Amino acid sequence: MDVKKPSASAVLLGLIPFAGMCFSVSFWDRIDPMLFGMPFNLFWLICWIVLSSSCLWAAYKLETARDKRDARTR
Amino acid sequence: MSSAAVSLLTIVFIVVIGAAIGLLAGVHRKMDLEQWTVGGRGFGVVLVFLLMAGEVYTTFAFLGASGWAYSRGGPALYVLAYLTLAYVVSFFILPQIWEVGRKHGMQTVSDFFGVLYGNKYLAGLVCAIGIVCIIPYVQLQLTGVGIIVSIASFDGIGRTPAMAIAVLLLVAFVFASGVRAVAWVSIVKDALMVFAALAIGIGIPLIHFGGIRPMFAALAHARPAHMTMPGATANLGHAWFISTVLLTSLGFYMWPHAFAATFTARSADTLRRNAVIMPLYTLTLVFIFFAGFAAVLLVPGLANGDLAMLTVVRGSFPPWFLGLVGGAGALTAMVPASILILTAATLFAKNLYRPVFAPAMTDAQVGKLARLMVIVLGVISLYLAIYSSTTIVSLLLTGYAGVTQFFPGVVLGLYWKRVTTAAVFGGMTAGVIAVAFLMLSHRDPLFGLSAGFLALCLNFLVTVFGSLLTPALRRDSWTRPLATER
């Protein structure tokens, strides 16, 4: 099936949230320091929800720019 | 008026409004199969968002997330991680799935396998796994409706009548308006849910502790071990967290209803934009966690953690608010249940019955059969929910591990030209057998890792090595259009 693969830089941006929310769990699964009244692990995840959305936004910009370039050269 | 009557009237009012919107959603539209299952592929960012958000906030998120925070503590945080990462994964596969789907007129995950691998038996296997995994999921939603309505009505409505009414209403609106009904009912449901989640998550700590900060301070003082992993469990540690988050984030869009929602989008761009926005919606779940953690100190010792949040709400808020939460909660179960039933009915009629028993059926006849199946599946799920045992949650987790076995076939099918039909068949079969064996013999987690994740690894290995050992697919069989299968 010929589908357009995501660009390598977009995929890299997509791996950042996995590093932040999943593989690094041992580093942030603690109660202290409590921030904004929340245990550290909960606060960390909330931050990464926003950061993940930002990473995807950047990947979106990359992909749409590439689509435009491809449309012009075709 | 008594508290129970106020609460009950509020629930009835909300559910009736929701059902009416669902019934009206398809008026003035010709409901052919394409319109009924994938909304004529015309949904923009807003409707796709509503549909997909409608699928996230299920009873499991509403009662389950707070219930896990209450009964297990730290491990419950996996919900926030996996939902966010599921959208990250979706960014890289849904636009491509949509592209292929439009080219070949796909409506189901089974269509996808049928076209990509040109094999109706593989499509049939996917279809069978999909239906088997969906039924316990629907059953869980109905059980949720029963719990929510009976608590919120101060036991004014019993669990069985509540479930029966819910099935009747959702079958009616799915029958009439298909996937369009699901998206539109989600408007009411999600608006109420977000309001309820914020009010509960901020209100409960405020009423009982004076705020979120003192609430967590009290919890950190009284039960410090509860808030990190493994919390109140023996074996849900960091290895479990990583493996479960990987399994569920990769598997999220493999659920046949989530997969099919992809095809409702107007364009691939809609799906990318949706993936950027969706993680932020996960933030509303944080408030559900506040309520679950507060319940640890407020109502300790409940046998069933799923009841924790509603029990606290009933003791903290006026009856009309309890009714609002109950009504929103009922819709929260009915909307996902309806999309699940719609998907299973379509899978059965289109991908199992027609290819195997009646190849001559037209799309219109498939549409009729699918609608009939909505009623049949509604009745089966209701029956199971009424006579259910306590193993529903384990059945659901088995379902999650089951549908995730589609992932290697989907991703390798899109991005690796060397993958072969036989290898995907073998990998998926090995994965599903491993899941069934490990989970039904209570070996989950195994060596601290999620059993479904281990099965997924096995599946990937078999698919990759199997592909290298079998002859490559000929080019023409890749682009074989669905029409020739009929």
- CB spacing of B216 vs A52 below 8 angstroms: no
The sign one gets for the Cα dihedral B255, B256, B259, B260 is negative
CATH number for B137: 1.20.1730.10
As a whole number of angstroms, the distance between CA B381 and CA B142 comes to 8
Q: What are phi and psi of B42, to 5 degrees?
A: -120, 15
- Is A35 part of any domain? yes
Position B325 in a domain = yes
Chain centroid to CA B156:
29
Q: CA B136, B125, B454, A44 torsion: positive or negative?
A: negative
Those of residues 94-113 in B touching chain A at CB distance below 8 A are: 96, 99-100
3-state secondary structure of B361: coil
Closest by CA to B169, choosing from B154, B153, B188, B196, is B188
- Chain A hits for B215, Cβ within 8 Å: 37
Does residue B431 belong to any structural domain of this protein? no
Residue B140 within a domain:
yes
| ipTM of model | 0.94
Q: How far is CA B271 from CA A56, B45, B164, B287, B383, in A?
A: 12, 7, 35, 27, 36
Are B14 and B163 in contact, with CB atoms under 8 Å apart?
no
A9, part of any domain: no
- Walk along chain B (486 residues) and give the pLDDT tens digit of each residue: 688 888 888 888 888 888 888 778 766 666 677 777 777 777 777 777 777 777 777 777 778 888 889 988 888 999 999 999 999 999 999 999 999 998 888 888 998 998 888 888 899 899 999 998 888 888 888 888 888 888 888 877 888 898 898 888 888 878 777 777 777 888 888 888 889 889 999 999 999 999 899 999 999 899 888 888 888 887 888 999 999 999 999 999 999 988 988 888 888 888 999 899 889 888 988 999 999 999 999 988 887 788 888 889 988 899 889 888 888 888 888 888 888 888 888 888 888 888 878 788 888 888 888 888 889 989 988 988 888 665 455 666 778 889 999 999 999 999 988 899 999 999 999 999 998 888 777 777 778 788 889 999 999 999 999 999 888 776 444 444 333 333
Option in B77, B92, B269 nearest A41 (CB) = B77
d(CA B339, CA B178): 8
In a domain, B259, yes or no: yes
Q: What is the dihedral of CA B415, B417, B423, B428, to 10 degrees?
A: 20
- Domains held by chain A: number: 1
Spatial separation of the C-alpha atoms in residues B251 and B280, rounded to whole Å: 20
Residue B239 in any domain: the answer is yes
How many of the other CB atoms lie within 10 Å of CB of B361? 18
Alpha carbon distances (Å) from B73 to B79, B202, B236: 12, 19, 10
Count of Cβ atoms closer than 10 Å to residue B19 Cβ = 22
Please report whether residue B474 resides in a domain: no
List CB contacts of A18: < 8 A, sequence separation 6 or more: B85, B88
**Cα of B131 vs its chain's centroid, Å:** 13
φ, ψ dihedrals at B446, nearest 5° = -110, 125
Give me the numbers of helices (H) and strands (E) for chain A, helices first please: 3, 0
Residue A3 located in a structural domain: no
Residue A44, token pair as written in the block = 């960390």
Contact B88 A10 (CB under 8 A): no
Q: What is the pLDDT of residue B153?
A: 80
B346, B108 contact by CB (below 8 A) = yes
Range of the domain at B127: 3-245+252-387
B155 sits in the region (left: phi over 0; alpha: psi -120 to 50; else beta) called left
Nearest residue of A to residue B218, measured between CA atoms = A37
**Total tally of structural domains belonging to chain B:** 1
What are the helix and strand counts (H, E) for chain B? 23, 0
- Whether B12 maps to a domain, the answer reads yes
Cα–Cα separations (whole angstroms), residue B128 to A3, B171, B172 = 27, 22, 25
Contacting A residues, span 6-45, partner chain B, CB-CB under 8 Å: 6, 10-11, 14, 17-18, 21-23, 25-26, 29-31, 34, 36-39, 41-42, 45
Interface with chain B: mutation pick from A2, A22, A32, A44, highest number of B CBs within 10 Å: A22
Please report, as a single letter, which amino acid is at residue B471.
P
What the block records as the tokens of B183 is 């998206």
Q: Side chain identity at B196, as an amino acid letter?
A: A
Give me the pLDDT at residue B390, please. 52
Are B188 and B18 a contacting pair, CB within 8 Å? yes
Place of tokens 């079969």: B429
Given B74, B211, B280, which is nearest A49 (Cβ)?
B280
**Are the C-beta atoms of residues B257 and B134 closer than 8 Å to each other?**
yes
Residues 192-211 on B with a CB inside 8 Å of A are 211
Q: Judge whether B336 lies within some domain.
A: yes
On whether residue A8 sits in a domain, the answer given is no
In this structure, what are the phi and psi dihedrals at residue B161, rounded to the nearest 5 degrees? -60, -40
The whole-number average pLDDT for the span A22-26 is 91
Residues in B 59-78 with any Cβ partner in A closer than 8 A: 74, 77
- The answer to whether residues B386 and B167 touch, using CB atoms and an 8 Å cutoff, is no
Q: Tell me what pLDDT residue B392 has.
A: 53
CA pair distance B389, B358, nearest whole angstrom: 36
Which letter, b or e, does each residue of B25-56 get, where b requires 16 or more Cβ atoms within 10 Å of its Cβ? bbeeeebebbbbbbbbbebebebbbbbbbbbb
Whether residue B163 lies within 8 A of chain A, CB to CB, comes out as: no
Q: How far apart are CA B189 and CA B180, in angstroms?
A: 14
- Residue ranges of alpha helices (H) inside B387-420 are 392-403, 407-415
pLDDT tens column, A32-67: 888 998 999 999 999 999 999 999 999 999 999 888
Q: Cβ B74–A48 below 8 Å, yes or no?
A: no
Give SS3 for A38: strand
pLDDT in tens, B399-444: 888 999 999 999 999 998 889 999 999 999 999 999 888 877 777 7
Domain encompassing residue A61: 14-73
In order, the DSSP letters of B212-271 are: HHHHHHHHHHH-GGGGSTTTTSSS--HHHHHHHHHHHHHHGGGSHHHHHHHTTBS-HHHH
Where helices occur in B263-346 by DSSP H, the ranges are: 268-281, 283-298, 308-316, 319-346
Output the average pLDDT for chain A.
Answer: 90
> Could you please report the per-residue DSSP string of B23-72?
HHTTTTS---HHHHHHGGG-B-HHHHHHHHHHHHS-HIIIIIHHHHHHHT
